[in-house]
């Protein structure tokens, strides 16, 4: 049982999914790992009845649920039980649901065919219910060795990218982290710290001291075969809806397979999501934004990865 069970024990959760195998394992995992009181239903009609008559801290609704659709359940919660958190499970890839996720403010989509769907579910429940999501150590584990660097001037971005990425194992993993770090650090410095306009990149200053509250931090480390890094800015300007909109734009292709997102917003995040095992974006509005990038040294890249955006 996880430490969070001490504070979460007894909290009610509703799992609405037509897959009896997933429901059974989900109920057991959430109860055994977090001490949650979990109820489950197989259709949306029954789920709505239960949501109307009882309060729950979290709803996990499957995108293929029969009866009342998942987005109607979420809409009910948004209007009448705004304190209830919600996440989606799905038998298909998260990007197929981006449009509705934007409309209904959903930042967590968990593929049931992912390599570790129950781990993803328990991690998500813990994150949404405790808001304890910030910090690379939270995702690597307590025994991780973690190092830190900071960027106090945009001119140091490439220097830090080179230094940090060279710490990762040589080969494909190092190339992946180098590419992802370059994108995430550029976004954190110019959008998060300096609040620049993406449409005027030619005017961005490349050598300017950042104020103390504008400094961007990079943390990197490993725990066993799990390697990772995080990029933190103190702007807290990024929003869940922005991320989902950018990701959706990067799915649109013309007849020649060319992406139609002329502004290139979110291109780096789109590529990063497809290159790593897990990418977690944590946002505390007006305070900080954190992008966590994780890679397992022994794992092949799974075809379906969870979408994990936590906004508080």
Instruction: Convert the pLDDT of each residue in 31-54 to its tens digit.
Output: 999 999 999 999 999 999 999 999
What average pLDDT score do residues 15-28 get? 97
Average predicted confidence (pLDDT) for the chain: 89
| Residue 65 shares a structural domain with residue 186 | no
169 lies in which domain range? 136-311
| Residue 146 shares a structural domain with residue 227 | yes
CA angle 288, 200, 311 (to 5 degrees): 20
Predicted local distance difference test score (pLDDT) of residue 26: 98
Predicted local distance difference test score (pLDDT) of residue 261: 45
156-193: pLDDT as tens digits: 999 999 999 999 999 999 999 999 999 889 989 998 99
pLDDT at 304 > cutoff 70: yes
For residue 16 the two structure tokens come to: 């609405």
Question: In Å, how far from its chain's centre is CA 226?
Answer: 17
**Domain finish residue from 130, 145, 177:** 130
Lowest mean pLDDT among 148-152, 168-172, 260-264: 260-264
pTM above 0.75?
Answer: yes
| 96 Cβ contact list (under 8 Å, min separation 6) | 90
Domain count, the chain: 2
| Residue 245 shares a structural domain with residue 114 | no
Greater confidence (51 vs 266) lies with 51
pLDDT at 96 > cutoff 80: yes
Predicted local distance difference test score (pLDDT) of residue 170: 94
pLDDT at 265 > cutoff 70: no
| Residue 297 shares a structural domain with residue 278 | yes
Does the CA dihedral 209-210-212-216 come out positive or negative? negative
């Amino acid at each position: 049982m996880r430490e969070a069970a001490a504070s979460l024990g007894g909290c009610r959760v509703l799992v609405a999914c037509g897959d009896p195998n997933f429901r059974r394992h989900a109920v057991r995992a959430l109860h055994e790992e977090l001490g949650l009181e979990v109820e489950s239903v197989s259709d949306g009609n029954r789920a709505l009845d239960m949501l109307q008559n009882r309060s729950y801290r979290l709803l996990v609704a499957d995108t293929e649920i029969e009866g009342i659709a998942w987005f109607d359940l979420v809409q009910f919660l948004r209007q009448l039980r705004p304190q209830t958190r919600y996440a989606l499970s799905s038998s298909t890839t998260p990007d197929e649901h981006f449009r509705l996720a934007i409309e209904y403010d959903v930042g967590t989509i968990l593929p049931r065919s992912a390599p570790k769907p129950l781990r993803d579910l328990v991690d998500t429940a813990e994150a949404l219910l405790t808001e304890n999501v910030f910090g690379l150590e939270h995702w690597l584990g307590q025994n991780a060795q973690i190092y830190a660097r900071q960027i106090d001037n945009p001119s140091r971005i490439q220097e830090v990218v080179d230094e940090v990425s060279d710490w990762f194992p040589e080969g494909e993993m190092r190339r992946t982290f180098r590419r992802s770090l370059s994108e995430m650090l550029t976004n954190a410095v110019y959008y998060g710290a300096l609040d620049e306009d993406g449409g005027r990149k030619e005017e961005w200053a490349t050598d300017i001291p950042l104020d103390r509250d504008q400094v961007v931090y990079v943390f990197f480390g490993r725990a066993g075969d799990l390697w990772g890094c995080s990029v933190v800015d103190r702007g807290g300007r990024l929003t869940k809806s922005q991320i989902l909109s950018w990701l959706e734009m990067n799915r649109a292709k013309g007849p020649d397979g060319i992406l139609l997102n002329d502004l290139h917003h979110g291109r780096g995040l789109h590529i990063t999501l497809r290159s790593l095992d897990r990418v977690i974006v944590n946002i505390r509005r007006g305070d900080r934004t954190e992008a966590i990038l994780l890679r397992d040294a022994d794992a092949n890249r799974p075809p379906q990865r969870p979408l994990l955006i936590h906004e508080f």
